[in-house]
Copies of this chain bind each other. A is one copy, B any other.
Amino acid sequence: MPRDRNETRRRILAGAYALFYAEGFQRVSLDAIASRAGLTKRTLYNHFETKDALVAAALAEHASLAADLTRVWCEGAAQSPEGLVRHLFTELRAWASKPDWRGSGFTRAAMELAWAPGHPARAAASDHKTVVERAIARALERRGACDPARCAAALAVLIEGANALRMIHGDDAWYDVAEAAALDLL
C-alpha cells in the first residue's frame, strides 16, 4: 500500500474507533466518520467497502494499541503475582475514572452485535480478549504464580465482570470486589 494511502487508512480507523467508542458502533454513521477524517464518503468507501468491514478493522487496529497497553501495565507491576493483580486493578480504576470512559469497546461491540454471531467485529473482540488473557498468564508465570493459566482465566472473568458492573452501576467498588477475589484466588 502506498504510504499516503496507508496513512489515510490509519487516520480513518483511529477517528472511527474514537467515534464508535464515544457514541456506539451501530449509531455512528459513515457520514460522521468521513466528516471526522476530512474525507468524502466516496474516498471512505475506497478504503472500506462496508460499515461492517470498517467496524471490524477499527477494532483490530485498536486491539494492537490495547494489547501494547496491557503489556505496559503488566511490565509496570511489582514482581509478585499479588503485585501484578493490585497493579492491574489500579490501572483499571484510573482508566474508568476518565470522563470519557464507556467500558470495554470490544465488549460493547460484541454486545451491540449480539444478534450477528458471524460479524467480523465479533471475531476481533474474541481475539483481543484472548491476547489480553495470554499476556496476563505470561506475566503471572514470570512472577511464579502456581497455576498461571487458571489464574489468568479467573482474572479475565473478574476483570470482564468488574468493567461491566462499573459501567452499569457507575461505582468503582466493583473493582475492589474483583481485586479482593483475585487476590484470594492466587
Which residues of A come within 8 Å of B, CB atoms?
22-24, 26-27, 102-103, 106-108, 110-115, 117, 122, 125-126, 129-130, 150, 153-154, 156-162, 164-165, 167-170, 174, 177-178, 180-181, 184-185
Contacts and interface: CB of A to CB of B under 8 A. Distances in A.
B112 A169 contact: no
Nearest to A22: B115
Please give the count of copies of this chain that the complex contains: 2
Contacts of A129: 165, 168-169
A177 B165 contact: no
A177 B153 contact: yes
A132 to B, nearest CB: 11
A117 B170 contact: yes
Contacts of A162: 157, 161
Please indicate which of the listed interface residues A111, A115, A159, A169 has the most CB atoms of chain B within 10 Å of its own CB.
A111
